[in-house]
Amino acid sequence: MKMGKLEAPDTHYLSGAEGWMELGDLPSALAELELISEPFHNHYDVLQVRWHILNRMEDWEDCLRISRQMIEANP
């Protein structure tokens, strides 16, 4: 299922999540992703950032779940 392009303000939230992740504040990074519009929670770019955050948190089960969602979003 192809999704549309992310636009503002969702692109800003995604960038914010990446920034928090780089600073090591992983809970804030996840919170920033939650601000993205609901229809775009399964957008490939959002899933990719979520996966990287969860990977740094060593949440392997959720990483696997997100990996499956990424395959569905972009087969």
Give, rounded to a whole angstrom, the gap between the first and last alpha carbons of the chain.
8
Of 74, 9, 16, 26, which is closest to residue 47 (Cα–Cα)? 74
The percentage of the chain sitting over the pLDDT mark of 70, rounded to a whole number, equals 97
What the chain holds in terms of domains, given with CATH numbers, is: 10-73 (1.25.40)
Residues 6+ apart with CB under 8 A from 30: 17, 50, 53
Mean pLDDT of 26-55: 97
Residues 6+ apart with CB under 8 A from 27: none
pTM (two decimals): 0.92
Of 21, 27, 26, 47, which is closest to residue 36 (Cα–Cα)? 47
pLDDT at 2 over 70: no
Predicted pLDDT at 75:
82
| Summary mean pLDDT of the chain | 95
